[in-house]
């Protein structure tokens, strides 16, 4: 009988070890400041940008009404933008850039695992009354999304659109 407990214990240990490596917890204020160099990985919506290359700053306000202001941003292909986030609310919010499909999938995971840990250069976690920044280079044309993926926030409509126009002015 004792041997039947070992596979379960081993599975729980493996689950705990693999889950621990995801990144920083949402509730941890310290994780908003990224330690070390920013990981530059090409995404469908662009790549982490260099602060020296910023061509403009877009101020984004996060509100407890589950809205962003502005909720639409127009960007030129190749532009490096600083998103300066201000959480005007009383609860934690985040700003995650992605495709609708990726944000939908991530939001579903956040509902199942509300304490899920993660930290990427296209994400900003902003505590109540705090500020944060993302510097991003939009090197791909198209229509992309930004959202707060904290459980319930995305479902309540806390999202917006980014339109990256090619030289012709078209987004795709």
**pLDDT at residue 55 greater than cutoff 70:** yes
- The predicted structure's pLDDT at residue 28: 39
pLDDT interval class at 11 (50, 70, 90): very low
**pLDDT at residue 168 greater than cutoff 80:** no
- In the chain, the domains with their CATH numbers are 25-165 (2.60.40.420)
Separation of alpha carbons 61 and 68, rounded Å: 6
Residue 62: strand pairing partners: 68, 87
**Of 47-56, 95-104, 105-114, 129-138, which range is least confident?**
105-114
CA distances from 48 to 10, 26, 100, 103, 171 (A): 38, 21, 19, 18, 20
Average pLDDT, whole number, for the chain? Answer: 81
Read off φ and ψ for residue 95, nearest 5 degrees: -130, 115
**Length in residues, the chain:** 172
pLDDT interval class at 39 (50, 70, 90): confident
For residue 11, count CB atoms less than 10 angstroms from its CB and return exposed for 0-12, middle for 13-18, buried for 19 or more.
Answer: exposed
**pLDDT at residue 6 greater than cutoff 60:** no
Q: Is the pTM of this model over 0.85?
A: no
Arithmetic mean of pLDDT, 5-26: 37
């Amino acid at each position: 009988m004792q041997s039947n407990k070992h596979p379960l214990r081993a599975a729980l240990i493996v689950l705990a070890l693999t889950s621990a490596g995801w990144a920083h917890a949402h509730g941890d204020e310290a994780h908003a400041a990224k330690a070390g160099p920013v990981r530059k990985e090409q995404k469908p919506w662009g790549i982490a940008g260099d602060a020296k290359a910023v061509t403009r700053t877009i101020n984004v306000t996060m509100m407890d009404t589950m809205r962003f202001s502005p909720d639409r941003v127009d960007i030129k292909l190749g532009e490096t933008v600083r998103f300066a986030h201000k959480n005007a609310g009383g609860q934690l919010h985040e700003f995650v850039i992605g495709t609708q499909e990726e944000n939908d999938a991530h939001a579903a995971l956040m509902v199942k695992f509300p304490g899920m840990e993660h930290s990427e250069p296209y994400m900003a976690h902003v505590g109540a009354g705090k500020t944060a920044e993302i510097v991003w280079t939009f090197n791909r044309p198209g229509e992309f999304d930004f959202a707060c993926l904290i459980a319930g926030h995305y479902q309540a409509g806390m999202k917006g659109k980014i339109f990256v126009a090619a030289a012709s002015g078209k987004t795709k």
